[in-house]
A and B are shown apart, each in its own frame.
Chain A
Amino acid sequence: MKRKQGGKLMLTNILLFSALKRLLCCALLPLSLLSGCFCAEALADDNYNTRWRLHGFIAQGVIDVDHSNYVTDDGDISARLTEIGINASYQLSRDFRVTGQAVYLNGGNRYHEGARLDYLLLDWSAYSTENWLVNFYFGRFKNNHWLYSNIRDVPQARPSIILPQSIYFDGFRDIAEGGEGLDIKVSYSDDELGEFDFGLSAGTSDISKAQTQIILSKLAGGRLKHDYDIQASLYWRPLYSSWRFGLALLDSDFSYDGGEQDAFLDADIVLQRYFLNALYQGEFWELSAELLQDRFVFDDFYFPGFHQDNLGQGIFLQGRYKAGNRLTFLGRYEKFYINKDDKHGRKLEQGSQGQIPAYFGYQNSFTLGVSYDLLANVRLELEHHWFEGTARLTPVVLPDARANSREHWNLWALQLMYWF
């Protein structure tokens, strides 16, 4: 069985690498013709291959969750903690670059298993001076707006194996991770005010049937469609400061088209999110906090005229201590409730005639972790999470109260990662 799984993983890796190569080749050909700058002369001078960049990571771990179906349905220790990614970038000319990344993820019930195209885009550096940098990204782009949104699947770059679910909810991973359309980044730096980064993106994601069921319910026979998505963010680091502050906004619309003989009706969903975050980076301490308010409007689905309009709120406070170049300790506290007017979930339970327990209205957690760099690019990470409440377990819309019958649950995870 294990040999079969290992062979499957290897096959997946091969397919992933070959898919990325094909995608980049397909993207490069027309773009290189368009730019007119893909010249042999420039390549001949490029002794250090400065036009190409190739990076990647591979991480495998074990995870054990007690009293919830967060990763598996049986509650046993699981190896469903695999993350593989590879990206390549090619500088077509001084102002144009093409880049792409493919990932393979297996997180059990957290999101659907398989390979994904994380991003594939044309980067146009439209304006660049000593102080200003303006870039337009066309194609499939990553979500670069929240504190950890663009590195949530990058094991060596994120602060922990499992990110705070209040904000980086795994159930929304495929929707929140990026979109297809246009992304704009404007950076400004000077010697008085410091560094500013403004981002604006518009683009939607394709939602698979598996992902639809993860979000809504296993009984959902139709497909969720991402109709509209616009995001903006602004970050500021004062001059020579160890602090960085940010805010981000998201406005998105979804629709559900019920299948034939579906248990549910067509539905319209609006998701609006507001974020504030702060990051401190000292020599030994790294502190971060992120605050979220999200509005979730849900129409029809259960019956014609059904209407739900909730304001959820979440926050995490995180500290990391670097005990030398190799060893890092992590501590984090997180709080989240799906309806700020029902912080204890009582209305939720009453509204469902007791079918949905009150603890599905909130989810708080405490995390301790440690990581050790075995080599410059090999790291071992271990962490333990204690949870209270189940508001960030899937499915979201029709919770699984049978599989998640306890208010208190916990998990530990151990992951080995390599990157280049």
Chain B
Amino acid sequence: MLCGLVICPRAYSVTIITHASVGQADIPSSQLRRIFSMRQLRWQNGVAITVFVLPSQHPLHQRFSKEKLGIFPYQLDNIWQKLSFSGLGATPIVVQTPQDLLEAVKATPGAIGYAADEAKTGGEVDVN
């Protein structure tokens, strides 16, 4: 199986990482919002999207939410709570540390997550 992660760095302090199976070089912020608010469930190539996040109180998650999505963390929590407790949809998978998040994205086809800019991704993920 193809194991890799794609990362897209810009002038942000947070970096989006995707599994190599995603095969999408650039992910615009509007699409990121759709993905993390669970309004887009599949990549263009048809692969199911698996979203990994850190706990909502984690500083990296807070930075990611505001800087990359333009959404306040509590808004994301509201969206996910509604999905989860109404049965409308599955929610992102929460992992406890940035390293766990990196490993999870590496190991899961179709996965997306984020990392600190300075994080060493090891070249096994795509950086957006």
Interface residues, chain A, CB within 8 Å of chain B?
A: 45, 47-48, 50, 53, 55, 57, 85, 87, 89, 91, 94, 97, 99-101, 118-119, 121, 123, 125, 128-130, 133, 135, 137, 141-142, 144, 150-151, 154, 156-157, 185, 187, 189, 191, 195, 239-240, 281-283, 322, 325, 376
Given A133-B41, A157-B78, A157-B81, decide whether A97 and B86 contact each other with a Cβ distance below 8 A.
no
Q: Which residues of B contact A121 (CB under 8 A)?
A: 87
Q: How many residues of B contact A (CB 8 A)?
A: 37
> Could you tell me the distance between the alpha carbons of A99 and B85 in the complex, rounded to whole angstroms?
10
Contact of B39 among A97, A151, A195 (CB under 8 A): A195
> In the complex, are the beta carbons of B42 and A94 less than 8 A apart?
yes
Number of A-B contacts (CB under 8 A): 104
A151 in complex: contacting residue of B56, B81, B89, B91, CB < 8 Å: B81
- The reply on B128 being an interface residue by CB < 8 A is no
Interface residues of B in 66-102 (CB under 8 A from A): 70, 72, 74-75, 78, 81-82, 84-91, 93, 95
User: Which chain A positions have C-beta within 8 A of B86?
Assistant: 119, 142, 144, 150-151
CB nearest to A373 among chain B residues: B57
The answer to the question of B11 belonging to the interface, with a C-beta cut-off of 8 Å to chain A, is: no
B92 and chain A: residue at smallest CB distance: A53
Query: CB distance B44 to A130 under 8 Å?
Result: yes
Do A55 and B84 have beta carbons less than 8 Å apart?
yes
Residues of chain A lying within 8 A (CB to CB) of residue B82: 150-151, 157
In the A-B complex, the 5 residue pairs with the smallest Cβ-Cβ separation, listed nearest first, are A150-B86, A157-B81, A119-B87, A154-B85, A142-B86
Contact check: which of B34, B40, B85 meets A150 at CB < 8 Å?
Answer: B85
- Judged by a CB distance under 8 angstroms, whether B25 is at the interface is no
For the complex formed, measure the closest distance between the CB of B75 and the CB atoms of chain A, giving whole angstroms.
5
Q: Is B15 an interface residue (CB 8 A)?
A: no
Chain B contacts with A in 5-50, Cβ cutoff 8 A: 28, 30-31, 34, 39-42, 44, 48, 50
15 A-B pairs whose Cβ atoms sit less than 8 Å apart in the complex: A48-B104, A50-B50, A53-B91, A55-B85, A87-B87, A101-B87, A125-B41, A128-B41, A137-B88, A150-B85, A150-B86, A151-B86, A189-B34, A240-B70, A376-B57
Q: Contact at A283–B89, with CB atoms within 8 Å?
A: no
Given contacts A45-B109, A55-B84, 8 further A-B contacts (CB under 8 A): A48-B95, A89-B90, A94-B42, A123-B87, A123-B88, A129-B42, A137-B88, A141-B87
Q: Are A50 and B87 in contact (CB under 8 A)?
A: no
Contacts of B34 in A (CB 8 A): 130, 189
Say whether A376 contacts B55, CB under 8 Å: yes
**Is B108 close to A, CB under 8 A?**
yes
Bound complex: CA of A141 vs CA of B86, how far in Å?
Answer: 8
Q: Which residue of A lies closest to B48 (CB)?
A: A94
B57 touches A157 (CB 8 A): no
B39 contacts A191, C-beta separation under 8 Å: no
In the complex, chain B residues whose CB is within 8 Å of the CB of A45: 1, 109
Q: Do A130 and B41 touch (CB < 8 A)? A: no
Report the separation of the CA atoms of residues A137 and B86 in the bound assembly, to the nearest whole angstrom. Answer: 11
Are B87 and A128 interface neighbours, CB within 8 A? no
Measured between beta carbons, the chain A residues less than 8 angstroms from B91 are 53, 55
Q: Nearest-CB distance from B106 to chain A (Å)? A: 10
Residues of A close to B87: CB separation below 8 A: 87, 89, 99-101, 118-119, 121, 123, 137, 141-142
B107 at the interface (CB under 8 A from A): yes
- Complex CA distance for A189 and B31, rounded to whole angstroms: 9
Question: In the complex, what distance in Å separates the CA atom of A142 from the CA atom of B90?
Answer: 15
Pair A47/B90 contact, Cβ less than 8 Å: no
Tell me the nearest residue of chain B to A192, going by C-beta. Answer: B30
A133–B1 touching, CB < 8 Å: no
Q: How far is the CB of A373 from chain B (nearest CB, A)?
A: 9
CA A264 to CA B79, docked complex, whole Å:
45
B85 touches A97 (CB 8 A): no
The docked-state distance in angstroms from the alpha carbon of A91 to that of B49 is: 12
A94 to B45, CA, bound (A): 13
Report the minimum CB–CB distance from B22 to chain A (whole Å). 13
Q: What's the minimum C-beta distance from A196 to chain B, rounded to whole angstroms?
A: 10
Could you say which of B1, B56, B85 contacts A87, with CB atoms under 8 Å apart? B85
- Measured in the bound complex, the distance between the Cα atoms of B74 and A45 in whole Å is 32
Across the interface, which residues of B come within 8 angstroms of A141, CB to CB? Answer: 87
- CB-nearest residue of chain A relative to B85? A154
For the complex formed, measure the closest distance between the CB of A72 and the CB atoms of chain B, giving whole angstroms.
28
